[in-house]
Amino acid sequence: MPKTDLLVIINPLSGTMPLAQKEALRTFIATEAARQGFQPELIMTTHAGHATDLAAQAAQTGIRRVLVMGGDGTINEVARALRKTATALGIVPMGSGNGLARHLGLPMNPKKAIQRALAGKPVLIDSGEINDLPFFCTAGLGFEAYVAHEFANQPTRGLQTYVKTAYRAFWSYKPTQYIIDDRETGPLFSLTVANAAQFGNNAWIAPLANIADGQLDLCQIKPFPARMAGLIGWRLFNKSLNTSAYWRSDRVQQATIQSSAPLLAHADGEPIVLTGHTCIVRVLPGSLLVLL
């Protein structure tokens, strides 16, 4: 088969890399892809949602590889259009968290990631939905959703702003009670629906999650005293949160989550607003081809 079917989608606003460097990478992809026998088309997104339209068109016209240079938000936009199609997603991580790329063990160095995606073989992974909104890494309610909403209101992005926002949020956040499939949880600090094992930045909220097991890991963190925050944070980044007495996880294919409080949520780190007090999360097993 001639290797002439490659679309490259670049979000010029993702992460903190200067635009000139992104332009240089664009040239690198074009050269490298051509060297490997592809005839790539490279497009920079011009607005939110653009990447979904481009990827949907690519899948419809039978393009078999779509490479995305961006963060988890842009990857989500592309991947949602590639679900249940024969078109595979290649990831060149360019965001501030890069949760999906890190979970999949992809290189963080853009040039290496480009080479990996061009040479990669398509492998099926699961995806999730929260009230019909797709996610590929994690979705969640509770503290992390509260932070996602606060972060969206900040004038700057990047890890530093995220950490500052999370620190401030920690002191103002009030734990929420949920009912999951008719079982009361008691107050929870956070409730994460994990397809991948981490949020991004190697924050392993669901250390045991398997992205291709046809299940989601529903991870709860109980409220904890402020003096425990350091240890819980250390376990989060040390991939050992599963050893904490404040953490538990259940594997589900689908779950109904209710709360009397407004359901603040996020999908792949982007804040979302859910109407009503009930949401349904479910897995779509083996629904996305990724180039690994």
Q: Phi and psi of 242, rounded to 5°?
A: -65, -10
**Interface with ligand ATP in residues 263-292 (CB under 6 A):** 269-270
**Interface with ligand ATP in residues 149-168 (CB under 6 A):** 157
> Between 58 and 257, whose beta carbon lies closer to ligand ATP?
58
Candidates 83, 190, 196; CA nearest to 136 is 196
CB of 133 to ligand ATP, least distance (A): 12
- Report helix, strand and coil shares of the chain as percent, to nearest 5: 30, 30, 35
Using CB under 6 A, pick the residue from 40, 97, 110, 207 that binds ligand ATP: 97
- How many residues belong to the site for ligand ATP (CB under 6 A)? 24
CB of 261 to ligand ATP, least distance (A): 26
> Between 97 and 110, whose beta carbon lies closer to ligand ATP?
97
> Between 152 and 228, whose beta carbon lies closer to ligand ATP?
152
> Between 145 and 180, whose beta carbon lies closer to ligand ATP?
145
Cα gap 253→257, rounded to integer Å: 13
**Interface with ligand ATP in residues 229-258 (CB under 6 A):** none
> Between 175 and 271, whose beta carbon lies closer to ligand ATP?
271
**Interface with ligand ATP in residues 18-77 (CB under 6 A):** 45-48, 50, 70-74, 77
> Between 45 and 220, whose beta carbon lies closer to ligand ATP?
45
The tokens for 222 are 């109980």
**Helices and strands in the chain: count of H runs, count of E runs:** 8, 16
CB of 180 to ligand ATP, least distance (A): 27
Using CB under 6 A, pick the residue from 7, 14, 32, 116 that binds ligand ATP: 14
Centroid of chain to Cα 156:
20
> Between 48 and 261, whose beta carbon lies closer to ligand ATP?
48
Q: Which residue has the tokens 């160095």?
A: 109
DSSP H helices, 120-267, are: 143-152, 159-172, 229-237
Q: Which stretch binds ligand ATP (CB under 6 A): 11-19, 53-61, 166-174, 218-226?
A: 11-19
Per residue in 77-108, is it b (16+ CB within 10 Å) or e — as a string?
bbbbbbbebebbbbbbbbbbbbbbbbbbebbe
CB of 36 to ligand ATP, least distance (A): 25
Q: Are strands 65-70 and 88-93 parallel, antiparallel or unpaired?
A: parallel
- Tell me if 131 contacts ligand ATP by CB under 6 A: no
- Residues 235, 243: contact at Cβ < 8 Å? yes
CB of 276 to ligand ATP, least distance (A): 24
**What's the per-residue H, E or C state across 86-122?**
CCEEEEEECCCCCHHHHHCCCCCCHHHHHHHHHHCCE
**Interface with ligand ATP in residues 189-228 (CB under 6 A):** 200
- Residues 275, 130: contact at Cβ < 8 Å? no
- Tell me if 95 contacts ligand ATP by CB under 6 A: yes
- Residues 156, 193: contact at Cβ < 8 Å? no
Judged by the rule CB under 6 A, the positions of this chain that interact with ligand ATP are 11-15, 45-48, 50, 70-74, 77, 95-98, 157, 200, 269-270
